[in-house]
Structure formats: structure tokens, C-alpha cells
Structure 1
Amino acid sequence: MVSGKVSKLNLWELVVAIILGLVEGLTEFAPVSSTGHMIIVDDILLKSKELFSPEVANTFKVCIQLGSILAVVIVMKDRFIDLLGLSRETDEEGNRLKLTQVIVGLLPAGVLGFLFEDYIDEYLFSVNTVIIALVAGAILLLVADWFRPARPKVETVDQITYKQAIGIGLFQCLSLWPGFSRSGSTISGGVLLGLSHRAASDFTFIMAVPIMLGASTISLIKNWDSFTLDALPFFIAGFVSAFIFALLSIRFFLKLINKIKLVPFAIYRIVLAVILYLIVS
């Protein structure tokens, strides 16, 4: 299947779709870099671009992100209802996260991503740059845990200030470097700015929805010609797989993050970088 269209799918192609959905769902929201995992699992091991055209394979990777987005919306549905002004509930102190705070957090990376998209695509999407980003991101995770305030100033995301929101948004700019990890940069930034690990994770996941939805929509529009009805089973299998595993991983991560903090993820990233280096060297 080397053309831009996909013909009748066989069982292996559906297995590839499910595996890639699993990788996307498990790694998209943890601070471990979904890009690094996709390079190892797909570009090196499964090689979906040899099963399909590069256009179809790339469009598929965008499509399965929508499954991960849906998982976040379901897990945090009450929070999004609040942000849209459809609930009047407040916490015990009368606070509630505001939509404007989320927008403030999104602006820095949104502006830089728009200005430097072509440069990032041309110069930063390589195995070597991803390996460096994995290590650099691991260092940031370690710094966040070692130099965080002794006691968090913000225990829940409802207590976040506009200053902290813009600060986390600036840290998120690091995630424009493929392999650095959006979750890793924003959670680390939040922790350094005085948020608890859980509050930083909640804010990160909330910001992820408009970011990923916007990026996925733009990419799908650009590559719409690669999407055909023949490809539908492949796309559906990956979407459902990403949704299910993202749903499980998000719930697990949010329960675990305040207990294990960030050091284990930093160690994992360094190990992943070494494995990736050994594979490609």
C-alpha cells in the first residue's frame, strides 16, 4: 500500500492501528514524551509508513489524538462544564478556575507555535533532536522535584492565579521541541511555581484539550485528501484504542502523581533516550 489511498485492510494493519492507539493513549498525558514512544514503536518497529503512504500514516496519528482528547473531556467533564459557564458551583473558599486563566496559559505556546511551525517541522523533528529533548525534559522534571517549594501554595487547580497560569504557559513553550513533552514541561513549571503535583496535572490536562483539538483539526484539514472510506476501519481501531487507554492512564496518573512525584518519570525518560540512541546508532 504505497499510494495515498488505503485498500482493503488485513488483520495486521488493524493490529498496528490498535498498538499505535495504545501507545498514544498511554503516553500522551504522562510526562514521558509520546513523540519519543511513537518513533520507537512506529517509525522503527511497526513502520506504518511502509504499510500505508506517509500521508495516511501521518493523518492517522492525528486522528488517534482525538481519541485521547475525548478521554480527557470525559474524565474532567465537570470541570469543562464549569469553564463553559454551565455550572455555578464553587469550592469551599468561593474560588473556581476561570476560562480566561486557561486562555492565558495557552497564549505563549500558541503564538510561538504559529510563528515557528515551519522551523520546528524542518529542524526539530529528527531522532537526534528528540533524544536530546528527552534528556533535557528529564532534567527539568528532576529540577522541579528537587527545587519545588517545601509546601505547595496551590493545592487545587481552583486556587491558581493569573500569574501562575502565564508562567505555566511559558514553560509549555518548551514542548514545541518534539520529545520534550507538553505534560512534562507544564507539570514541572506548575510545581516550580508553587502548585501541587495534582493541581499542575489538572491544569495541564485542561489546557491539553484546546491545544490538541486545534492542532488535530488543522492537520486533518491539511491532510483530508488522505482520508478515505477504505481507511475507516484503520482509523476507527486506532481512535478507540487511544480513547480506552488514555481513559485508563489519565485516571491512574491523577491518582498516582501526588504520591510518586516526577523523579520516576525522569529516570524513565533517560532510559528511553538511551534505548532510542542505541536503536538508531
Structure 2
Amino acid sequence: MELLELLKAVILGFVEGMTEFAPVSSTGHMIIVDDMWLNTKDVLGSESANTFKIVIQLGSILAVVVVFWRRLLSLIGLYRMEGPEHGQKLRLSHVIVGLLPAGILGVLFEDYIDEHLFSADTVVYALFVGALLMIAADKFGPKRPSTQSLDQITYKQALLVGLFQCLSLWPGFSRSGATISGGVLLGMNHKTASDFTFIMAVPIMAGASFLSILKNLDNLDYSHLGFYILGFISAFIFALISIRFFLKLIQRIKLTPFAIYRIVLAVVLMFIIF
């Protein structure tokens, strides 16, 4: 493949890695960067381009595993968290409870979502609505959050955050935007809500990505293997940077600046699309 074509893989990996876990909607950014600019469908073909986006998402997931490996291993009993702040009260069952609502709805309404919600205009609306939820979380969330660490999360909070996560089935809403906002409204500080969001991301995103790859195995074009690998590595590196930076930033600036950015993005998309 030509160098300029491989550069597209790096750029899309950058976009995926930098936006997947920030509450700004990776879907909205992919529409702008790929569908309206790079057009990887011209390089890979329509079906193979969709498979590529699943592959680079796995790079982002691997970054979460690298950042949270101790906590993830502790959930399955292979690592013991040290320090007085860890009573090891966050269990795998908390994560499962948080995943159930969106998992069930995703299975039940997958075809409907694919058919009716994956369009540019619905993404614009989701960007707006998600931004309003994020602003509401900052405004109405407790001024002194009661839940200051992952090990203070209750099953009730995990379930309710899981219900908020169902909003992310609407493309453009942003999974992290929905769950962090929900966590803040339920009494978590921004850092704890973000940590729980990222930990829940691993099984739900990995599972969805592997299922999608299995369904699209026939669309994997091994002549484009270099394109896939470069995109995967790019997404991994930039997601690693993004996650570490975001976790330091979120406790300081909260959600509202991200919400304002989403509104600006939605307006830009409206002018482009409509």
C-alpha cells in the first residue's frame, strides 16, 4: 500500500484512541474524519472499512487493560490490591451488574439500532442530548460525593450506572459520557465514575468487538493486513495517552467543558450534513 494510504490508518487510530474513552463521542469524530474526509472505503472497500474500525477499537481496549491491569486481575482473584484505601470491596459481580442492562438491551435491539440509529442526523441529536446530561451531572451532582473510590461503589450504584449506560446504545451519545454522568449523579466523584466506566468498558467492548469480527470474518482482506496493524497500534498508543491524561484532567475540570465541545461538534456536523 502507498504511504499516504497507511497514513490514513495512523490518523484514524489517533481519532479512535483519543476519543473512544473521552465523553465526546468517537462516532461523531469518525463521521467527520473518515466518512467526510479520509474515505477509507475507497482504500479498503465498504465492508472491509467497517471491519477496520472494529480492529482499531481493540487497540483502545488493550490500552485500558494496560492502565488498569492490577484492578482487572484483582477482580478475578489473581492480584491483591495493596494500601489502606483498598478493602477489595469492588468485585467482578459489581461489574457484571453494571453490564447487564446495556448487554440485554443491546442483544434485544441490535437490529433496530443498526437500521434506525446509525445515521449522521441521529448522531448529531445524541451529541446534543448527551451534552445536556453531562452539564446536568455537574450542576446537580452532590457537591461532596460520598463515593470517593472504586471500593466504595455499591451494587445499587453499579446497576443504576448500568442503566445510564443503556443511553450509549444511541450512537453519538458516548458510553463514557453516559456512565460518568450517571456515576456523578449517583454520588461518585468524577475520578471514581471514570475509573468504573473504563473497567466496565473492557468486557463489553471486547465482547462486542470480537463478536463483530466473527460476523465479519469474510470481510477481512489480508492484503490490507499492514493497514489493520498500523491502525491497531496507533489506536493503542493514543488511547494510552488519552486515558492517562483524561483521568488526571476530569477531577479538575469536570464534565461541562467536554459538553460544550460536544455542542460545538454537533453544530459543525449540522452545517456539514444538513
TM-score (norm 2): 0.98
Q: Tell me how far apart the structure 2 counterparts of residues 198 and 254 of structure 1 sit (CA, whole Å).
A: 6
Show the counterpart of 2:41. Answer: 49
Q: Tell me how far apart the structure 2 counterparts of residues 156 and 115 of structure 1 sit (CA, whole Å).
A: 33
Does 1:77 pair with 2:74?
Answer: no
Q: Which runs of 5+ in 1 are unaligned?
A: 1-8
Residue of structure 2 aligned with 1:130, choices 114, 123, 129: 123
Residue of structure 1 aligned with 2:237, choices 222, 244, 268: 244
Show the counterpart of 1:167. Answer: 160
Matched AA of 2:138: D
Shift of 1:89: 3.2
What is the CA deviation profile of residues 112-132 of structure 1, one whole-angstrom value per residue up to 9, with x for unaligned ones? 000000000000011100000
Show the counterpart of 1:21. Answer: 13
Residue of structure 2 aligned with 1:216, choices 209, 215, 222: 209
The answer as to whether partners of 1:91 and 1:158 remain within 8 angstroms in 2 is no
Show the counterpart of 1:89. Answer: 81
The answer as to whether partners of 1:90 and 1:96 remain within 8 angstroms in 2 is no
Q: Superposition pairs for residues 135-150 of structure 1, below 5 Å?
A: 135-150=128-143
Matched AA of 1:92: P
Residue of structure 2 aligned with 1:100, choices 93, 97, 101: 93
Shift of 1:96: 2.9
What is the CA deviation profile of residues 95-120 of structure 1, one whole-angstrom value per residue up to 9, with x for unaligned ones? 43100000000000000000000000
Shift of 1:90: 5.5
Q: Superposition pairs for residues 169-208 of structure 1, below 5 Å?
A: 169-208=162-201
Matched AA of 1:233: G
Amino-acid identity (%): 66
Shift of 1:49: 1.2
Q: Tell me how far apart the structure 2 counterparts of residues 91 and 162 of structure 1 sit (CA, whole Å).
A: 23
Show the counterpart of 1:4. Answer: none
Does 1:271 pair with 2:258?
Answer: no
What is the CA deviation profile of residues 199-223 of structure 1, one whole-angstrom value per residue up to 9, with x for unaligned ones? 0000000000101101110110111
CA RMSD of aligned residues (A): 0.9
The answer as to whether partners of 2:97 and 2:155 remain within 8 angstroms in 1 is yes
The answer as to whether partners of 2:81 and 2:88 remain within 8 angstroms in 1 is no
Q: Which runs of 5+ in 2 are unaligned?
A: none
Does 1:37 pair with 2:22?
Answer: no
The answer as to whether partners of 1:167 and 1:189 remain within 8 angstroms in 2 is yes
The answer as to whether partners of 1:95 and 1:159 remain within 8 angstroms in 2 is no
Show the counterpart of 1:262. Answer: 255
Runs of 4+ in 1 over 6 A off after TM superposition: none
Residue of structure 2 aligned with 1:66, choices 58, 62, 74: 58
